[in-house]
Amino acid sequence: MMPKRLIGTLALGAKNAVMIAIACTCAGMIVTVVTHTGLGLAFSSLALALSRGIFFFVLVFVMMAAIILGIGVPSTAAYILASTLGVPILVRLGADLLAAHLFTYYFAIIACCTPPVAVCAYAGAALAGSDPMKTGFEAFKLAIAGFIVPYMFIYNPVLSKSLAPSMNG
């Protein structure tokens, strides 16, 4: 690699790292606010009240929260926020801890390719030189199967467990 190109690549990497650090810092501040103000407990109470304790409806509320949080922030920050709000209520209602985290993780990641924003589709369209709207709809069509997988983790926790023999015997 030429020295000039290497320096440009390193500078680009540093800029991207700064953007990720800023997003994670914002997520950390929001998680602190959620924890100290009781907003997480309020979300749990609201989800329980609106769902009338029906587990499937609680899952839908957590899914919507993860997708909404994932619209405006990077996927890592969206997962941190969604897990702060959603995982405690899912575990309290009997979901496996790992399955609850995988549920929120999947929807925080899928949020970037769902309408109305579809940030990753716009980025892909820019790289491919295609129409962003068409790319966004194609991305959503491809991501539809991803909306089913998290529910499978919750309703069949074996999928989220390691099938390898344990180290403890």
Kindly state the tokens that stand for 75: 């996927």
Q: Do 153 and 103 form a contact (C-beta atoms < 8 A)?
A: yes
66 three-class SS = helix
Q: What is the pLDDT of residues 90-139, one digit of tens each?
A: 888 888 888 999 999 998 888 878 777 777 777 778 778 888 888 888 88
pLDDT value at position 156?
84
Assigned token pair, 4: 């000039």
Q: Is residue 71 within 8 Å of residue 18, measured between CB atoms?
A: no
Out of 30-44, 50-64, 112-126, least confident range: 30-44
User: Which of the pair, 64 or 21, is modelled with greater confidence?
Assistant: 64
What pTM does this model have?
0.70
* Mean pLDDT, residues 15-37 taken together: 71
pLDDT of 163 > 60? The answer is no
Is 80 exceeded by the pLDDT of residue 31? no
Q: What is the DSSP letter of 108?
A: H
Q: 88 near 40, Cβ under 8 Å?
A: yes
- Separation between Cα atoms, residue 24 and residue 42, nearest integer Å: 23
Residue 43 near residue 90 (C-beta atoms within 8 A): no
Within a 10 A sphere around the Cβ of 34, how many other Cβ atoms? 17
Residue 23 has pLDDT above 80, yes or no: no
Report the pLDDT value the prediction gives residue 167, as an integer from 0 to 100: 44
Rounded-to-integer distance, Cα 89 and Cα 122, Å: 34
Q: Which residue is associated with the tokens 């990641």?
A: 109
